[in-house]
Amino acid sequence: MSSLVRSFELFKPDHYLLMFSPHAEWVMERVRKTLNELKKARDFTVREERTAYDIKATEKTIDEEISRCEVVYSVVTPASNVMTILLTRKLLQRPNYYVVNFLFSFGSWHNFYYPYVPRTAEEPLVFNSQGVVNSWKDPTIPIPMIGLETNNSYVRTLSETVLKLNSQNRDPVPNYWLELRLNECRLNSDFNDGALRSFTMCLEQVGAIAANVSNPGGLLNNLVNLAGTKEIKVNQGNNQEVELSRVLTQGRAIVDTNLVYYGIHTYEANNLLLPHCVLNEVILKATDDELFGHLVLQVALHLRETSGYLPTEFQQCDVVVPRADPYILDGAYLITADKLAYELWSSSPVSKIARVMLAGLRGVKGRKSDRAMALANLGVFLSYVLEKLSAEERPELCWEKSNNCVKVEWVQG
C-alpha cells in the first residue's frame, strides 16, 4: 500500500499497470479501494493483469503497456523475483525506463503505511540504465485519507496527525525526522537519555499537568515508557542481555502485561502472542485510572488486532499463563518484566517446555526512526491527557528544524 501511495505522490502517473499472482487476489480489493481514493485527488487509468507463471505472456503485457508511455516507472515488491528480472532487462533497453524500490524504515512503524508514516520512512531508490537518479516531482498533490478502517482512538490520532504533517511538507525526499513540542518543551528524534529526562522535567511544569495531576513525574514516566522511547532487553542467562527485537525473530513470544506498559506495540513482532489475561488486567487498570489506564487500553486493543492470541483463564497472568495450552507454550518464549512472575514461571513445570525470560528497560532506542515513532506516540498520549484535564494547550508534532507543525488533537474512535 505504501508503494502505491508514495509512487502516486512522487511520479504522478497517468496510468497504473497492476501485475499480481493469483494467490495475491485477496490483497487486490484493498488496492482497488486505495486507488479509488487517490483518484479523488488526481485522475488516472488502471489495468490489472494476473501474471500466473507464464513469463512470456507477462513480458508481452509489459511490452504492450510501455510502448504507449513516454516515461515508465516500475515499482517491484520484495517477493517479485521474476518481475525483477524482467523489468531489469527492460531497464537496460530503454533510457526512459526507471525501476523504483522504496527503502521502508520498518521497526516501530511496521503496522502503519504511507501516508500514515513520516515521508522520511519511505525513501525511494530510483535508477535507470545510467545508474541511480533523482527523478521525481515535488509532492504537491494532497494525499486523501486512505483506508484508515479502525475505531481505535490511538491509531486514528497518530495516523491523522502524521498525514497532516506529510501534507505540510513539499520536500519529496526529506532527510530529517520529527520533533515534539509543548509550550517551551522540545524534543527531537536525536534525543538521548539526558535529553529525554530534561524534556520530562519540563513537561512537569506545564500548567494543567502541574495543577491537576497528583504525581506528574510518575504519570509522565509511564507515558514515556508506553510510547516506546526505551529499548527492552531480555536476560538470556549468565547475565547476558540481548535486545528484545532479536528474540522476537527467533520464535513465538508470549508476553506479560508489563511488556504492554513498556511499549511492546512498537516492536516488529510477527510471532507475538498476547494472552487473554493481559486484556483483563488492562481493562481493570482502565476502570481505576482514566488517564494512563485508558491509554494503555487503547494500545492493548491495537496490539490485539496486530498480534496472535493466547487463550487463558480470567485471572492474573502470573497464575494462568503457565496453565495455557501446552501445545502453544511448547518451544515459546515467555517474557515478563516482573521478577516475581519470572521466578514463579521458572520454578513451574512450564519452564520444561518454554523458555522463561526476564525483561527490563535499558536506555533509549538506537534507531532514529524508532525514536521518531516514540515522539509521535508521546504526542498522542499527551494530547489525550491534556484533553481530559480540560487544558487549552496541545502538543505539536513538527518536522525537525522547521516551523512546519501540526497540533495533535485526540480523535475519538
Sheet with 230-235, strands from edge to edge, namely 241-243, 230-235, 355-364, 333-336, 253-255, 272-275, 308-310
Q: What integer best gives the mean pLDDT of the chain?
A: 89
**pLDDT tier at 302, thresholds 50, 70, 90:** very high
**pLDDT tier at 179, thresholds 50, 70, 90:** very high
pLDDT of 81 > 80? The answer is no
Residue 56 has phi, psi (to 5 degrees) of: -65, -40
* pLDDT tens track for 320-368: 999 999 999 999 999 999 999 999 999 999 999 999 999 999 999 999 9
Half-sphere exposure (Cβ direction) of 203: Cα atoms closer than 13 Å = 30
pLDDT of 14 > 80? The answer is yes
The highest-confidence range among 70-79, 81-90, 237-246, 278-287, by mean pLDDT, is 278-287
Task: Transcribe 344-381 into DSSP letters.
Answer: HHHTSGGGGTSEEEEEEEEEE-S-HHHHHHHHHHHHHH
Q: Which residue has the higher pLDDT, 54 or 149?
A: 149
Specify the pLDDT at position 27: 80
Overall average pLDDT of the 356-384 stretch: 96
Specify the pLDDT at position 97: 76
**Angstrom distance (rounded) from CA 179 to CA 186:** 7
Specify the pLDDT at position 73: 85
Per the document, the length of the chain is 413
Percent of the chain with pLDDT over 70: 92
Does residue 390 come out as left (phi exceeding 0), alpha (psi in the -120 to 50 range) or beta? left
**pLDDT tier at 309, thresholds 50, 70, 90:** very high
* pLDDT tens track for 36-52: 999 988 899 998 888 76
Overall average pLDDT of the 194-223 stretch: 96
**pLDDT tier at 79, thresholds 50, 70, 90:** low
Specify the pLDDT at position 240: 85
Specify the pLDDT at position 204: 96
**pLDDT tier at 260, thresholds 50, 70, 90:** very high
**Angstrom distance (rounded) from CA 286 to CA 289:** 5
**pLDDT tier at 91, thresholds 50, 70, 90:** low
pLDDT of 238 > 80? The answer is no
Specify the pLDDT at position 137: 66
Question: Which residue has 524508532 as its cell numbers?
Answer: 370
Lowest mean pLDDT among 2-11, 217-226, 258-267: 2-11
pLDDT of 376 > 90? The answer is yes
**Angstrom distance (rounded) from CA 147 to CA 114:** 11
Question: Which residue has 528544524 as its cell numbers?
Answer: 401
Specify the pLDDT at position 205: 95
pLDDT of 156 > 90? The answer is yes
Specify the pLDDT at position 92: 62
Whether the ω angle into residue 216 lies within 30 degrees of 0, i.e. cis, is: no
3-state secondary structure of 314: coil
Specify the pLDDT at position 215: 95
**Angstrom distance (rounded) from CA 130 to CA 293:** 56
Task: Read off the pTM.
Answer: 0.90
Specify the pLDDT at position 62: 80
* pLDDT tens track for 102-119: 877 778 888 888 889 999
The conformation of residue 389, written as its DSSP 8-state character, comes to T
Alpha helices, DSSP H only, in 228-275? 244-248, 257-261
pLDDT of 413 > 80? The answer is no
**Judging by beta carbons within 10 Å of its beta carbon (0-12, 13-18, 19+), is residue 12 exposed, middle or buried?**
middle
